[in-house]
Amino acid sequence: MRVKLEGKRFRVLEDALIDTGATFTVIPPATADFLELEVNRSLPKAILVTASGLIEAPVKVIERLEVNGIEVEKLPAVIHKIPDPSPIKVLLGMNLIERVKLTINGKQNMFMIEDP
């Protein structure tokens, strides 16, 4: 799915994947730098459990994220590059999912994100 990420002055469209196992939304460092995102003052760093082990990564604030026509403001995001060759650059974690209504229907092979 495509998401729109906005900083104070710029915005970008990126391919994203919903990850119910991720506590935080994750965006790559290059995108965070381009958007000029600010460090999250209440949680400047987070510890991530990855396939390579534990890592510490900065947490910055996305001014606005839009997915499926739903806008979420001031969303903390961990800044970390998803390893190549993944075509996905952004993971939408539980800190986004908790702000929307996510419906998954495995029998019909579909999901919906809605405003709660």
- Mean pLDDT of residues grouped by 10 in the chain (116 residues)? 95 95 95 95 89 90 96 96 88 96 92 87
Provide the pLDDT for residue 116. Answer: 81
The reported pLDDT for the residue numbered 74 is 97
Domains, the chain, ordered by start: 2-114 (2.40.70.10)
Determine the length of the chain: 116
* Residue 8: Cβ-neighbour burial (10 angstroms; 0-12, 13-18, 19+): exposed
